[in-house]
Amino acid sequence: MASLSKIQFYHAGPTGETMEFDAECSVDSSGIFAIAIPDELVQVARSLGYAVTRPRKKFRLEHKLLDEAKRQVSAAIVEYLAAVETVERVIIYSADLAVSFWQNPDGSIASNGHEGVPREKGGEWAEVGKRNLNATNCVNHFSVGLFAEVVDRHTFTRGSSIKQEYRKPGTYGARPWLEGQVWGAKLNSFSSLARKQNAGSYDSMAYSEEAARFFHDTLLGMCLLARSIDGFFGSPEALRLAIERQVPVLGYSPEPEEASPAASPAASPSVVWHA
Protein backbone atom coordinates (compact mmCIF):
# COMPACT_ATOMS: atom_id res chain seq x y z
CA MET A 1 0.00 0.00 0.00
CA ALA A 2 1.45 3.34 -1.12
CA SER A 3 1.04 6.50 0.94
CA LEU A 4 -0.03 9.69 -0.80
CA SER A 5 0.07 13.31 0.28
CA LYS A 6 -2.26 14.24 3.12
CA ILE A 7 -5.54 15.89 2.16
CA GLN A 8 -6.80 18.89 4.11
CA PHE A 9 -10.51 19.13 4.88
CA TYR A 10 -12.29 22.13 6.36
CA HIS A 11 -16.01 22.89 6.57
CA ALA A 12 -18.13 25.31 8.60
CA GLY A 13 -21.70 24.29 9.38
CA PRO A 14 -24.81 26.49 9.58
CA THR A 15 -24.57 26.62 13.38
CA GLY A 16 -21.02 27.97 13.28
CA GLU A 17 -19.48 24.64 14.28
CA THR A 18 -16.45 23.69 12.21
CA MET A 19 -14.49 20.57 11.38
CA GLU A 20 -10.91 20.62 10.16
CA PHE A 21 -8.34 17.86 9.80
CA ASP A 22 -5.46 16.65 7.60
CA ALA A 23 -6.33 13.16 6.39
CA GLU A 24 -3.84 10.46 5.57
CA CYS A 25 -4.37 9.01 2.11
CA SER A 26 -3.16 5.80 0.51
CA VAL A 27 -3.80 3.48 -2.45
CA ASP A 28 -3.47 -0.31 -2.44
CA SER A 29 -2.29 -2.70 -5.14
CA SER A 30 -5.87 -3.03 -6.45
CA GLY A 31 -6.12 0.70 -7.06
CA ILE A 32 -8.51 1.36 -4.16
CA PHE A 33 -7.99 4.73 -2.49
CA ALA A 34 -8.44 5.11 1.27
CA ILE A 35 -8.79 8.35 3.21
CA ALA A 36 -8.55 8.30 7.01
CA ILE A 37 -11.54 9.91 8.74
CA PRO A 38 -12.25 10.94 12.37
CA ASP A 39 -14.32 8.59 14.49
CA GLU A 40 -17.24 11.03 14.64
CA LEU A 41 -17.73 10.76 10.85
CA VAL A 42 -18.01 6.97 10.78
CA GLN A 43 -21.72 6.68 11.59
CA VAL A 44 -22.66 9.50 9.22
CA ALA A 45 -20.56 8.12 6.34
CA ARG A 46 -22.05 4.67 6.74
CA SER A 47 -25.58 6.09 6.88
CA LEU A 48 -24.87 7.74 3.51
CA GLY A 49 -23.93 4.35 2.05
CA TYR A 50 -20.18 4.97 1.81
CA ALA A 51 -17.59 2.22 2.24
CA VAL A 52 -15.91 2.59 5.64
CA THR A 53 -13.35 0.09 6.89
CA ARG A 54 -10.99 -0.21 9.82
CA PRO A 55 -8.11 -2.54 8.96
CA ARG A 56 -5.93 -1.09 11.72
CA LYS A 57 -6.38 1.69 14.28
CA LYS A 58 -7.99 4.31 12.05
CA PHE A 59 -11.27 4.29 10.16
CA ARG A 60 -10.99 4.83 6.41
CA LEU A 61 -13.38 5.77 3.64
CA GLU A 62 -12.58 3.82 0.49
CA HIS A 63 -13.34 4.28 -3.21
CA LYS A 64 -11.75 3.31 -6.51
CA LEU A 65 -11.69 6.99 -7.57
CA LEU A 66 -9.72 9.47 -5.46
CA ASP A 67 -11.87 12.48 -6.36
CA GLU A 68 -15.02 10.57 -5.44
CA ALA A 69 -13.50 9.50 -2.13
CA LYS A 70 -12.68 13.12 -1.37
CA ARG A 71 -16.20 14.19 -2.31
CA GLN A 72 -17.71 11.56 -0.03
CA VAL A 73 -15.58 12.67 2.92
CA SER A 74 -16.69 16.27 2.31
CA ALA A 75 -20.32 15.19 2.05
CA ALA A 76 -20.05 13.29 5.34
CA ILE A 77 -18.62 16.39 7.04
CA VAL A 78 -21.44 18.58 5.69
CA GLU A 79 -24.02 16.06 6.91
CA TYR A 80 -22.33 15.84 10.29
CA LEU A 81 -22.35 19.61 10.75
CA ALA A 82 -25.99 19.90 9.65
CA ALA A 83 -27.18 19.35 13.22
CA VAL A 84 -30.27 20.59 15.02
CA GLU A 85 -29.04 23.05 17.62
CA THR A 86 -30.81 24.10 20.80
CA VAL A 87 -29.47 26.63 23.29
CA GLU A 88 -30.32 26.80 26.98
CA ARG A 89 -28.91 29.35 29.40
CA VAL A 90 -27.86 27.65 32.61
CA ILE A 91 -25.84 28.25 35.76
CA ILE A 92 -23.13 25.69 36.39
CA TYR A 93 -21.90 25.37 39.95
CA SER A 94 -19.80 23.29 42.28
CA ALA A 95 -19.02 23.31 45.99
CA ASP A 96 -15.67 22.07 47.27
CA LEU A 97 -15.90 21.44 51.00
CA ALA A 98 -12.73 20.24 52.69
CA VAL A 99 -13.91 19.84 56.28
CA SER A 100 -14.53 16.96 58.65
CA PHE A 101 -16.36 17.04 61.98
CA TRP A 102 -18.50 15.03 64.37
CA GLN A 103 -22.22 15.80 64.51
CA ASN A 104 -24.34 15.27 67.61
CA PRO A 105 -28.05 14.34 67.54
CA ASP A 106 -29.10 17.90 68.42
CA GLY A 107 -27.13 19.38 65.50
CA SER A 108 -24.22 20.65 67.57
CA ILE A 109 -20.78 19.60 66.39
CA ALA A 110 -17.41 18.56 67.75
CA SER A 111 -13.93 17.96 66.39
CA ASN A 112 -14.37 14.16 66.64
CA GLY A 113 -16.32 11.41 68.35
CA HIS A 114 -14.22 11.51 71.50
CA GLU A 115 -15.28 15.12 72.13
CA GLY A 116 -18.88 14.70 70.97
CA VAL A 117 -21.83 12.43 71.74
CA PRO A 118 -20.76 8.76 71.34
CA ARG A 119 -21.94 6.92 68.23
CA GLU A 120 -24.11 4.53 70.28
CA LYS A 121 -26.04 7.59 71.49
CA GLY A 122 -26.61 9.00 68.03
CA GLY A 123 -23.42 10.86 67.18
CA GLU A 124 -21.74 10.38 63.80
CA TRP A 125 -19.28 11.86 61.34
CA ALA A 126 -21.09 14.52 59.32
CA GLU A 127 -21.56 13.83 55.61
CA VAL A 128 -20.54 17.20 54.22
CA GLY A 129 -18.99 17.58 50.78
CA LYS A 130 -17.57 14.87 48.54
CA ARG A 131 -14.19 14.41 50.19
CA ASN A 132 -13.64 11.43 52.45
CA LEU A 133 -11.46 13.02 55.10
CA ASN A 134 -10.19 11.06 58.06
CA ALA A 135 -7.09 10.59 60.22
CA THR A 136 -5.13 9.13 57.30
CA ASN A 137 -6.68 11.13 54.43
CA CYS A 138 -6.01 14.66 55.67
CA VAL A 139 -5.85 18.19 54.28
CA ASN A 140 -3.46 20.89 55.46
CA HIS A 141 -6.26 23.49 55.66
CA PHE A 142 -10.00 23.26 56.16
CA SER A 143 -11.64 25.15 53.30
CA VAL A 144 -15.05 25.95 51.85
CA GLY A 145 -15.09 26.68 48.11
CA LEU A 146 -17.79 27.58 45.62
CA PHE A 147 -17.79 28.03 41.85
CA ALA A 148 -20.68 29.38 39.78
CA GLU A 149 -20.92 30.75 36.24
CA VAL A 150 -23.60 31.62 33.69
CA VAL A 151 -23.09 29.73 30.41
CA ASP A 152 -25.09 28.74 27.36
CA ARG A 153 -25.46 25.00 26.82
CA HIS A 154 -25.54 24.21 23.11
CA THR A 155 -26.98 20.81 22.25
CA PHE A 156 -26.33 19.45 18.75
CA THR A 157 -28.59 16.55 17.75
CA ARG A 158 -27.69 14.37 14.78
CA GLY A 159 -30.13 11.48 14.70
CA SER A 160 -29.35 9.44 17.79
CA SER A 161 -26.09 11.32 18.37
CA ILE A 162 -26.10 14.18 20.88
CA LYS A 163 -23.19 16.52 21.55
CA GLN A 164 -23.11 19.36 24.06
CA GLU A 165 -20.90 22.42 24.26
CA TYR A 166 -20.82 25.12 26.92
CA ARG A 167 -20.07 28.69 25.88
CA LYS A 168 -19.85 31.84 27.94
CA PRO A 169 -22.41 34.42 26.77
CA GLY A 170 -20.81 37.11 24.66
CA THR A 171 -17.95 34.94 23.38
CA TYR A 172 -19.61 33.86 20.15
CA GLY A 173 -21.73 35.29 17.36
CA ALA A 174 -23.48 38.64 17.68
CA ARG A 175 -25.48 37.90 20.82
CA PRO A 176 -25.56 40.67 23.43
CA TRP A 177 -23.75 39.82 26.65
CA LEU A 178 -26.48 38.80 29.12
CA GLU A 179 -28.78 41.59 27.95
CA GLY A 180 -31.42 42.30 30.55
CA GLN A 181 -30.02 39.70 32.95
CA VAL A 182 -28.55 41.97 35.59
CA TRP A 183 -27.63 39.36 38.18
CA GLY A 184 -26.19 37.03 35.57
CA ALA A 185 -23.86 39.80 34.46
CA LYS A 186 -22.90 40.46 38.09
CA LEU A 187 -22.24 36.76 38.71
CA ASN A 188 -19.97 36.51 35.67
CA SER A 189 -18.11 39.61 36.78
CA PHE A 190 -15.97 37.66 39.27
CA SER A 191 -13.04 37.95 36.86
CA SER A 192 -10.60 35.98 39.01
CA LEU A 193 -12.94 32.97 39.23
CA ALA A 194 -12.58 30.51 36.34
CA ARG A 195 -13.49 26.87 35.89
CA LYS A 196 -10.61 24.42 35.72
CA GLN A 197 -12.48 21.49 34.19
CA ASN A 198 -15.04 20.74 31.50
CA ALA A 199 -18.28 22.60 32.13
CA GLY A 200 -20.27 19.42 31.65
CA SER A 201 -18.75 17.95 34.83
CA TYR A 202 -20.39 20.61 37.02
CA ASP A 203 -23.91 20.56 38.40
CA SER A 204 -26.27 22.85 36.51
CA MET A 205 -29.66 24.50 36.77
CA ALA A 206 -31.83 26.59 34.45
CA TYR A 207 -30.98 30.28 34.53
CA SER A 208 -33.12 32.70 36.50
CA GLU A 209 -32.38 36.12 37.93
CA GLU A 210 -33.20 34.79 41.40
CA ALA A 211 -30.71 31.92 41.07
CA ALA A 212 -28.00 34.20 39.66
CA ARG A 213 -28.48 36.62 42.54
CA PHE A 214 -28.30 33.78 45.07
CA PHE A 215 -24.95 32.56 43.74
CA HIS A 216 -23.62 36.12 43.38
CA ASP A 217 -24.53 37.02 46.95
CA THR A 218 -23.14 33.74 48.29
CA LEU A 219 -19.80 34.41 46.61
CA LEU A 220 -19.75 37.94 47.99
CA GLY A 221 -20.53 36.52 51.42
CA MET A 222 -17.52 34.26 51.10
CA CYS A 223 -15.40 37.29 50.21
CA LEU A 224 -16.61 39.03 53.38
CA LEU A 225 -15.84 35.89 55.36
CA ALA A 226 -12.32 35.84 53.93
CA ARG A 227 -11.88 39.50 54.81
CA SER A 228 -12.99 38.77 58.37
CA ILE A 229 -10.57 35.86 58.68
CA ASP A 230 -7.75 37.97 57.28
CA GLY A 231 -8.60 40.74 59.72
CA PHE A 232 -8.26 38.38 62.67
CA PHE A 233 -5.36 36.18 61.60
CA GLY A 234 -3.46 38.68 59.47
CA SER A 235 -2.49 40.76 62.51
CA PRO A 236 -1.02 39.33 65.73
CA GLU A 237 -2.55 42.21 67.72
CA ALA A 238 -6.02 41.67 66.23
CA LEU A 239 -5.73 37.97 66.93
CA ARG A 240 -4.70 38.61 70.55
CA LEU A 241 -7.70 40.90 71.10
CA ALA A 242 -10.06 38.39 69.49
CA ILE A 243 -8.78 35.66 71.77
CA GLU A 244 -9.08 37.85 74.88
CA ARG A 245 -12.63 38.89 74.02
CA GLN A 246 -13.60 35.45 72.63
CA VAL A 247 -15.03 37.06 69.51
CA PRO A 248 -16.86 34.46 67.34
CA VAL A 249 -15.00 34.73 64.02
CA LEU A 250 -17.02 32.31 61.88
CA GLY A 251 -20.38 32.07 63.60
CA TYR A 252 -19.28 29.85 66.46
CA SER A 253 -20.21 30.81 69.99
CA PRO A 254 -20.26 28.93 73.28
CA GLU A 255 -23.57 27.70 74.59
CA PRO A 256 -25.11 30.16 77.11
CA GLU A 257 -24.72 27.91 80.12
CA GLU A 258 -21.04 27.36 79.35
CA ALA A 259 -20.47 31.08 78.73
CA SER A 260 -21.77 32.04 82.16
CA PRO A 261 -19.17 33.63 84.48
CA ALA A 262 -20.21 31.14 87.11
CA ALA A 263 -19.24 28.22 84.94
CA SER A 264 -16.41 26.08 86.22
CA PRO A 265 -13.04 26.95 84.62
CA ALA A 266 -12.32 23.25 84.36
CA ALA A 267 -15.45 22.56 82.34
CA SER A 268 -14.92 21.74 78.67
CA PRO A 269 -16.72 24.34 76.55
CA SER A 270 -19.33 22.99 74.16
CA VAL A 271 -19.45 24.72 70.79
CA VAL A 272 -22.45 24.97 68.48
CA TRP A 273 -22.80 26.25 64.93
CA HIS A 274 -25.36 28.96 64.27
CA ALA A 275 -26.47 28.84 60.64
pLDDT for 213: 96
Which positions ≥6 away from 17 have C-beta within 8 Å? 81, 83, 156
User: What is the per-residue pLDDT across 151-164, written as a single tens digit (0 to 9) for each?
Assistant: 999 998 876 678 88
Digit-coded pLDDT (tens) for 112-144: 888 889 999 999 998 887 777 877 888 899 999
Mean pLDDT of 53-69: 94
Provide the pLDDT for residue 267: 37
As a whole number, mean pLDDT of residues 251-257 equals: 58
pLDDT for position 252: 61
Mean pLDDT of 95-112: 91
> Which pLDDT belongs to residue 55?
87
pLDDT confidence tier of residue 174, bands split at 50, 70 and 90: very low
State the pLDDT confidence band at 265, using cuts at 50, 70 and 90. very low
What value does the mean pLDDT take over residues 22-34? Answer: 95
Overall average pLDDT of the 18-44 stretch:
94
Give pLDDT, residue 269.
36
Please report the pLDDT score of residue 275 as a whole number: 34
> What is the mean predicted confidence (pLDDT) over 69-92?
92
Supply the pLDDT for residue 82: 85
Residue 192 has pLDDT above 50, yes or no: yes
* Predicted local distance difference test score (pLDDT) of residue 251: 62
Q: What is the pLDDT of residue 255?
A: 60
**Residue range 9-19: mean pLDDT, rounded:** 87
Higher-scoring residue by pLDDT: 173, 249: 249
For residue 59, name the pLDDT band (cuts at 50, 70, 90): very high
What residue ranges do the domains of the chain occupy?
2-82, 89-258
> Is it the case that residue 102 has pLDDT exceeding 70?
yes
Would you say residue 187 has pLDDT above 90?
yes
